[in-house]
Chain A
């Protein structure tokens, strides 16, 4: 099927409703107003995730392959790819705690990978902060 509106359109419609209809009507209720602003932000995160996540899954997978000197293929279907990536991350967490990346070159490579992973996550959850931090670094 090629249903319209698509997933992004639907989320956008719900966000637009909250922004243009609900927010003006609840300015007198500070708590509800704040929580609705949070809800709007959550929908913006979801919209960015739909746009960026498929690329991030591929880049993170490729970096882990490079880090561990493997050539594992990323499953084709998106849900399978997410599950396969989650399994790799779980294994990586155990190895980090056990000291498998303590050696200096391994540690630096891991650090570079995780920094990039955090940046990709911030591109989705808070791109403004990422921009501010980059400007601070000059």
Chain B
């Protein structure tokens, strides 16, 4: 049998055992994946009824980085589903790497568009964009209301520290580990240290909530995807993060992900969550998000430069870093040097 045939056979057997139904896989196609895991679109009949599914799998050869495991991600998505968050419903988890070569889980397929440029531009999604600010506010309020207590594996600020202070220290540690001398980010981190707003009560945070990781259909937000960076943190971190210029996909004047102005969204979030939001705090976190993403770009370039992962795409990310550095400086100017 070929590798593809073994994949189909083992997945069929797994789904049949989990569902106690007769399973036939009628179609399987790879979806865009990353360096450490991949995704498969699967059509399968369960006792003759067609189900559209997605398999998210760790790749066997790659070391798992600091992101969450598939089992953790499955648990979080199940909790989010139970809390009324729109997610692709998680169905089955398999932590045994012998079945498909790496741990995986199976979830429902959600129809829609995730690619950022398409979300901000497609004429067919104009109604969806009008509805999105309210949808995003509601979904984030529900995410921030999830009780993180059962999830001991979630990263959280160290005792006696704050999310902002931890983020500053971690970003400096990354620069030091890369042996990068970057005065723009050094200045931004020094400024951040001296201007961090008072922390909010810690909440569950999705960690990567932005256009590009949200599945959009004609009516609006169909599902929140990519839960692997979930953590316990400051909820304003997420409100600022999704406004970062790089997540506006070329529509820079619309601060909320290139689809709308920020203020109506923040007001909708306040009325749904019942929490008063400091605009200055959200500004700060958007600024710090730029600094962190700019430094991540340098880390990505280092994967190429070190020879670990030769790639022109990773190399070019290094030169994108200054886009975030300049944006961070512009934000400092607006907030007050």
The interface of chain A, by Cβ under 8 A from chain B, is 34-35, 38-39, 41-42, 45, 86, 89-90, 92-93, 96-97, 99, 101-102, 107-108, 110-111, 114-115, 117-119, 121-122, 124-126, 129-130, 132-133, 136
Does B40 touch A at the CB level, under 8 Å?
Answer: no
Does B325 touch A at the CB level, under 8 Å?
Answer: yes
Asked if residues B183 and A114 are in contact (CB atoms below 8 Å), the reply is: yes
- Excluding A97-B190, A133-B252, 8 further A-B contacts by CB distance (< 8 Å) are A35-B313, A38-B312, A42-B316, A45-B316, A92-B186, A111-B332, A122-B322, A124-B319
Known: A90-B181, A125-B320. A118 touches B325 (CB 8 A): yes
Does B323 touch A at the CB level, under 8 Å?
Answer: yes
Does B329 touch A at the CB level, under 8 Å?
Answer: yes
What are 29 A-B interface contacts by the 8 Å CB criterion? Answer: A35-B311, A35-B312, A39-B312, A41-B316, A42-B316, A89-B183, A90-B181, A93-B182, A93-B183, A96-B183, A96-B187, A96-B190, A97-B172, A102-B190, A110-B187, A114-B183, A115-B333, A118-B184, A118-B322, A119-B326, A121-B326, A122-B322, A122-B323, A125-B322, A126-B319, A129-B323, A132-B252, A136-B252, A136-B253
Interface centre among B182, B187, B194, B323 (most CB of A within 10 A): B187
Asked if residues B326 and A108 are in contact (CB atoms below 8 Å), the reply is: no
Does B230 touch A at the CB level, under 8 Å?
Answer: no
- Residues in B with CB closer than 8 Å to A119 are 326
- Residues in A with CB closer than 8 Å to B323 are 122, 125-126, 129
**Which of A42, A99, A108, A133 contacts B330 (CB under 8 A)?**
A133
C-alpha gap A21/B70 in the complex (Å): 43
Asked if residues B312 and A93 are in contact (CB atoms below 8 Å), the reply is: no
The 4 A-B pairs at the shortest CB distance, nearest first, are namely A118-B326, A96-B186, A125-B319, A121-B322
- Residues in B with CB closer than 8 Å to A41 are 316
Tell me, rounded to whole Å, the shortest Cβ–Cβ distance linking A52 to chain B.
Answer: 13
Asked if residues B312 and A45 are in contact (CB atoms below 8 Å), the reply is: no
Tell me, rounded to whole Å, the shortest Cβ–Cβ distance linking B121 to chain A.
Answer: 16
Tell me the nearest residue of chain B to A126, going by C-beta. B323
C-alpha gap A39/B320 in the complex (Å): 14
Tell me, rounded to whole Å, the shortest Cβ–Cβ distance linking A11 to chain B.
Answer: 14
B170-201 interface (Cβ within 8 A of A): 172, 181-184, 186-187, 189-190, 194
Tell me the nearest residue of chain A to B317, going by C-beta. A38
Interface size range on B against A? 20 to 34
Tell me, rounded to whole Å, the shortest Cβ–Cβ distance linking B310 to chain A.
Answer: 12
Asked if residues A42 and B315 are in contact (CB atoms below 8 Å), the reply is: yes
Asked if residues A126 and B181 are in contact (CB atoms below 8 Å), the reply is: no
Tell me, rounded to whole Å, the shortest Cβ–Cβ distance linking A110 to chain B.
Answer: 6
Tell me the nearest residue of chain B to A125, going by C-beta. B319
C-alpha gap A121/B184 in the complex (Å): 11
Asked if residues A42 and B329 are in contact (CB atoms below 8 Å), the reply is: no
C-alpha gap A111/B188 in the complex (Å): 10
Tell me, rounded to whole Å, the shortest Cβ–Cβ distance linking B131 to chain A.
Answer: 26
- Residues in A with CB closer than 8 Å to B337 are 107-108, 111
- Residues in B with CB closer than 8 Å to A89 are 181, 183
Asked if residues A114 and B320 are in contact (CB atoms below 8 Å), the reply is: no
Known: A35-B313, A136-B253. A99 touches B184 (CB 8 A): no
Tell me, rounded to whole Å, the shortest Cβ–Cβ distance linking A56 to chain B.
Answer: 12
Tell me, rounded to whole Å, the shortest Cβ–Cβ distance linking B237 to chain A.
Answer: 23
**Which of A38, A42, A111 contacts B187 (CB under 8 A)?**
A111
- Residues in A with CB closer than 8 Å to B312 are 35, 38-39, 42
Q: What are the interface flags for B213-257 relative to A under an 8 Å C-beta threshold, 1 for contact and 0 otherwise? A: 000000000000000000000000000000000000000110000
Tell me, rounded to whole Å, the shortest Cβ–Cβ distance linking A99 to chain B.
Answer: 7
B290-336 interface (Cβ within 8 A of A): 311-313, 315-316, 319-320, 322-323, 325-326, 329-330, 332-333
C-alpha gap A43/B273 in the complex (Å): 49
- Residues in B with CB closer than 8 Å to A108 are 337
Asked if residues A118 and B252 are in contact (CB atoms below 8 Å), the reply is: no
C-alpha gap A124/B311 in the complex (Å): 21
Asked if residues A117 and B184 are in contact (CB atoms below 8 Å), the reply is: yes
Asked if residues A118 and B315 are in contact (CB atoms below 8 Å), the reply is: no
C-alpha gap A132/B333 in the complex (Å): 18
C-alpha gap A132/B258 in the complex (Å): 14
- Residues in B with CB closer than 8 Å to A93 are 181-183, 186
C-alpha gap A45/B187 in the complex (Å): 26
C-alpha gap A42/B312 in the complex (Å): 8
